[in-house]
Amino acid sequence: MSRTLPVQKNDIIDIVFEDLTHDGSGVAKVEGYPLFIPNGLPGEKAKVKVVKVNKNYGFGRLLELQEKSPYRVDAPCPIYKECGGCQLQHLSYEGQMQIKHKHVKDVLTRIGKINTLVHPTIGMSEPWRYRNKAQVPIGEQEGGLIGGFYQQRSHQIINMEACLIQQEENDAVVKQVKEICNKYGVKAYNEANHKGDLRHIMVRRGLITGEIMVVLITRTNEIVHKNKIVDEIVNNIPSIKSIIHNVNNKKTNVIMGDSTKVLWGEETITDYIGDVKFAISARSFYQVNPEQTKVLYNKALEYADLKGEENVIDAYCGIGTISLFLAKKAKQVFGVEIVPQAIEDAKRNAELNDIHNVDFAVGKAEEVIPAWYKKGNEADILVVDPPRKGCDDALLQTIVEMKPKKVVYVSCNPATLARDLRVLEDGGYQTLEVQPVDMFPQTMHVECVAQLILN
């Protein structure tokens, strides 16, 4: 027998917002039945219209705010509502810090049954203009190139000249490259018919060095008037260090394809985090908020509490960023990463910094580390920094068998962090504390570092 829902479609009801979802929608409950309503903030009272009901949850539209949150502010970005890249501009930064802390705490308890000390979120003094990387989808309007962002829940491209969480220099470079490509008749890729060419413009900028990389991502191998386009970019962008061409001829949402070549300049740009210098290539993962990356890595280092005698494994090491931070204080560090170019960068970065107590291996962490362990190679401390999906179970099982005395878990997804901490706790570890770090102000994302010790 089907249950009668407490609300029906088109009902107009009064609610109180209790929480936010991962995409920034307000959550209200009617007799325990959750309704997701965009633009509501926790604590606010509102009149809403129910627009859709499913068996276990429904959706609503805000009609009238009856009581506003003291943390509500006017979003400064004029395209905030259309874009969807940020979800929290209508919440003050203080409110964002609190909601992220609560979110981490709630998720750890609900998913992982982890009751541990969660510190207040470490935020930024200036939580705008922090991103060092822009990836802009390109389309066409009235014959000219446009580029900016996909309208929320669609693949319609909207033109954008300024993004308030992007370094200003990146906005300017994207605009210049768009204009140059337009001038030479480059056609935008059309995903509906898989014709046209330019799919994305990517710009990366070193915060400390100011060095700029431009990546043109196209469907075909040939860019019309390629040499003229390169010359104009070089002549108009003084800090340019690298122009890269990436070809992606697949029908996919994945931005980069498999073929990457240098059109001009270097294969990498460089940047510093603290006193460690990094070479960064087009395909390699590099944290997008360099100021907060320093905070995050220093916290990871503090949690590792190295005395100089330890063998450390850095799983999911990317271009060796955390590995090199750790190597300065450890006996030996072994980094593992799946992207071969990132490992090339990691080796180059070790040389660049004259650091010799690191080794890097290409492969899946869940295959390489169990193989090392079988051969008798063990670690005193294991650091993991996996992508959003978290650690593979085979890796977690190996950690539990290997029994490093400490595990430092860096995570960009509290839900998978909670799931993985449960596995490690069941395997004999205790989560001593968790530190949320705000790497992505104005968005719902939050990074965490967790410190675990073997019981």
Ligand X SMILES: C[S@@+](CC[C@H](N)C(=O)[O-])C[C@H]1O[C@@H](n2cnc3c(N)ncnc32)[C@H](O)[C@@H]1O
Catalytic residue, candidates 163, 181, 412, 448: 412
Return the number of other C-beta atoms located less than 10 Å from residue 292's C-beta.
21
- Position 322 contacts ligand X (CB under 6 A): yes
Q: Closer CB to ligand X, residue 146 or residue 369?
A: 369
Q: Closer CB to ligand X, residue 20 or residue 381?
A: 381
Estimate the crossing angle of helix 414-426 against helix 393-402, to 10 degrees.
40
- Position 344 contacts ligand X (CB under 6 A): no
Q: Closer CB to ligand X, residue 144 or residue 387?
A: 387
Strands 12-20 and 45-53: antiparallel
- Position 342 contacts ligand X (CB under 6 A): yes
Nearest one of 391, 388, 389 to 313, comparing CA atoms = 391
Alpha-carbon distance 55 to 146, whole Å?
Answer: 41
| Window contacting ligand X (CB under 6 A); options: 23-31, 62-70, 264-272, 317-325 | 317-325
* Length of the chain, in residues: 455
| Window contacting ligand X (CB under 6 A); options: 148-156, 260-268, 385-393, 424-432 | 385-393
Whose tokens are 């509501």? That residue is 40
Residue 367 zone, left/alpha/beta (φ > 0; ψ -120 to 50; rest) = alpha
> At closest approach, how far in Å is the CB of 342 from ligand X?
5
Strands 33-37 and 26-30: antiparallel
> At closest approach, how far in Å is the CB of 16 from ligand X?
37
Nearest one of 294, 326, 291 to 408, comparing CA atoms = 326
Q: CA torsion angle for 151, 90, 67, 4 (degrees, to 10)?
A: 40
Q: Closer CB to ligand X, residue 40 or residue 370?
A: 370
Q: Which of 20, 181, 198, 317 binds ligand X (CB under 6 A)?
A: 317
Alpha-carbon distance 326 to 336, whole Å?
Answer: 14
Nearest one of 411, 402, 203, 404 to 300, comparing CA atoms = 411
User: How far, rounded to the nearest angstrom, does the alpha carbon of residue 437 sit from its chain's CA centroid?
Assistant: 13
Identify any residues that bridge with 407 across adjacent strands, giving them in sequence order.
382, 452
Q: Closer CB to ligand X, residue 180 or residue 282?
A: 282
Binding-site entries: 287, 316, 337, 385
Alpha-carbon distance 415 to 396, whole Å?
Answer: 16
- Position 321 contacts ligand X (CB under 6 A): yes
Residues 274-303 that bind ligand X (CB under 6 A): 285-287
Q: Closer CB to ligand X, residue 110 or residue 388?
A: 388
**In sequence order, what E strands does 121-256 have?**
133-141, 144-150, 157-159, 198-205, 212-218, 240-247
Q: Do the beta carbons of residue 273 and residue 294 sit within 8 Å? A: yes
Our answer to whether residue 391 is catalytic in this structure is no
- Position 234 contacts ligand X (CB under 6 A): no
Dihedral of alpha carbons 59, 64, 70, 72, sign: positive
- Position 340 contacts ligand X (CB under 6 A): no
> At closest approach, how far in Å is the CB of 262 from ligand X?
21
Whose tokens are 């969807």? That residue is 84
The 391-430 site mask, x for binding ligand X (CB under 6 A), equals ---------------------x------------------
- Position 361 contacts ligand X (CB under 6 A): no
The residue whose Cβ lies closest to ligand X is 318
Nearest one of 195, 65, 101 to 140, comparing CA atoms = 195
> At closest approach, how far in Å is the CB of 90 from ligand X?
28
The type of residue at 30 is V
Q: Closer CB to ligand X, residue 186 or residue 384?
A: 384
> At closest approach, how far in Å is the CB of 247 from ligand X?
20
> At closest approach, how far in Å is the CB of 130 from ligand X?
16
Q: Which of 86, 230, 330, 365 binds ligand X (CB under 6 A)?
A: 365
- Position 387 contacts ligand X (CB under 6 A): yes
- Position 318 contacts ligand X (CB under 6 A): yes
Q: Closer CB to ligand X, residue 267 or residue 366?
A: 366
> At closest approach, how far in Å is the CB of 388 from ligand X?
8
- State both tokens at 322: 């955390």
Q: Do the beta carbons of residue 349 and residue 363 sit within 8 Å? A: no
> At closest approach, how far in Å is the CB of 302 from ligand X?
16
Q: What is the DSSP string of 147-178?
A: EEEEPTTS--EEE-S--TTB-HHHHHHHHHHH
Count of residues near ligand X by CB under 6 A: 20
Alpha-carbon distance 174 to 166, whole Å?
Answer: 11
Binding-site entries for S-adenosyl-L-methionine: 287, 316, 337, 385
Which residues of the chain form contacts with ligand X (CB under 6 A)? 285-287, 316-318, 321-322, 336-339, 342, 364-366, 385-387, 412
What is the set of active-site residues? Answer: 412
